[in-house]
Every structure is written in structure tokens, then in C-alpha cells.
Amino acid sequence: MDVFDSSSSRRRFILAAVGVVVVFAGLYLVVQEYLPFLTNGDELRAFVASYGVLAPLVFIGLQAVQVLFAPVPGQIMAFVSGYLFGGVLGTIYSLIGVTIGSSIAFWLSRRYGRPFVESVIQNDIMERFDAFVDTAGLPSLFALFLVPGLPDDILCFVSGLTDIKLWKLIAVMFVGRAPAYVLVNVSGSSLADDNLSLTVALLLFVLGLSAWGVLRRNEIMDVLSKRR
């Protein structure tokens, strides 16, 4: 069964999202109580900066790897980068990492073809996105990357099977993903700067868009498929 196609799968997603929020809130309280160093943005950034160029390089590498193996959503990594490096540098590092990872995904699909993509993506998900990519043009791909919460890492692998030039796919992915990454990085930076109200406001906005994208995914894809 495809993800989010049934009410039960949507409920599971919502419960999982609530669970993630609760876990993060709990971790924050534990860290604040026993490891206050980690909750002091200035001190933590100074500690990270002491590693020089190594710190951003490691983060960029982790952000690239998450695109290929998706252990955590890229937006979570973006929040961390904002907290560690600030809104501007965090956004730059996040987008560099996600661009490298997405470019590798595009190239792997183009180089090894459909058998490779089918080996890393579940069949039901592959069929749904395969049908979308077959009928959608480049503007529709951009619109799908623009909506946070959709599995855009999967879209990288599937769209790599098209005959669209790789540089165009990379450009569309970069510009489409950028707005959400900017917002999440700024929210992480705001938390480090003790601006909790801005952090909450930005996260609620992004989470609201993500929930809308998840719950309306099929409708969005159907509409975009017809606008080629």
C-alpha cells in the first residue's frame, strides 16, 4: 500500500510526527538539566568553531549522505545546522550538502538505470512517483520539490530516470528546496539565540505546510501531472 493513501496511514504519520515532537521536547529538557552546555548557543557555536573548516565539512557530508540513505529528514539536519552555524552559514552548508547528495542520486539513477532505483525504493512508492514523473514537466517537478514534507529524496532517484538534463534537475531541486531550508535554518538559529517565539512560529509554519503536503500529496501530484 502506498504511503499516505489511506486514513490509517495518515493517522500513523500524524502520531509519528507528534511522537517526534515529544521526543525532541523530552531530549531538550534532559539536555537542559544535565548538559546545559549544549543548550547555550554561543558556547556551542564557539566549540564547533574551534574545529575550523572540519565542522562544516563534516556537516555537509552528513547532509549529503541523508539524501542517499534518508536516516533522518533533511529539514531536521537543516534545523541543526541553523543552531550550530547560524541562519546564513547554516543555510549555505545545508544547501551545499543536499545539492551534493541529490546530484549523486540523480547520477546514480542515470548511470545504473531502473533496476538500481527499484532496488532502493519500494515498489508501490516507485509506481506512484514513476507515473508522476512520466507525465509531469520540469515546472511540476519544481512545484513538488517546493512543498515541504513530500519525499523529495525519492523524487531525486525517480526523476533521474528521465531524459531531462542533469543540470536542470539539480537547479530545480536546489531552488525548490531552498525556501523550506531557509526557514528551518533560521528557526534553528533563533533557538540558539534564545528567540523562542520566532523558532516556534517558523516551525509551526513549516510543519503546517508539511502536514498539508503529506495529506494532500496525491491531489497535488494529480493536479501537477495535468499541467504539463
Q: Is the pLDDT of residue 36 over 60?
A: no
Grid coordinates given for 216: 494532500
Model pLDDT, residue 4: 47
What would the mean pLDDT of 131-138 be, rounded to a whole number?
73
What integer pLDDT is reported at residue 118 of this predicted model? 83
- DSSP class of residue 86 equals -
Quote the cell numbers at residue 75: 529539514
C-alpha–C-alpha distance, residues 5 and 207, integer Å: 20
The C-alpha cell at 110 is 542515470
8 A C-beta contact, residue 99 and residue 63: no
Helices (H), 35-137: 41-49, 54-69, 74-85, 87-120, 123-135
Q: How do the residues of the chain divide into helix, strand and coil, expressed in percent and rounded to 5?
A: 85, 0, 15
Q: Where are the domains of the chain?
A: 53-225
Q: Is the dihedral of CA 177, 179, 182, 183 positive or negative?
A: negative
Report pTM. 0.76
Crossing angle of the two packed helices 123-135 and 87-120, in degrees rounded to 10: 110
CB 45 within 8 A of CB 89: no
Which cell goes with 210? 508539511
- Average pLDDT score, the chain: 79
Can you give the pLDDT at residue 19? 66
Integer Cα distance of 47 and 85 in angstroms: 11
Sign (positive/negative) of CA torsion 174, 178, 184, 187? positive
- Model confidence at 33, pLDDT cuts 50, 70, 90, reads low
| More confident of the two residues 53 and 125 | 53
Q: How sure is the predictor about 96, in pLDDT bands with cuts at 50, 70 and 90?
A: very high
CA distance 218 to 209: 15
Q: Indicate the pLDDT class of residue 95, thresholds 50, 70 and 90.
A: very high
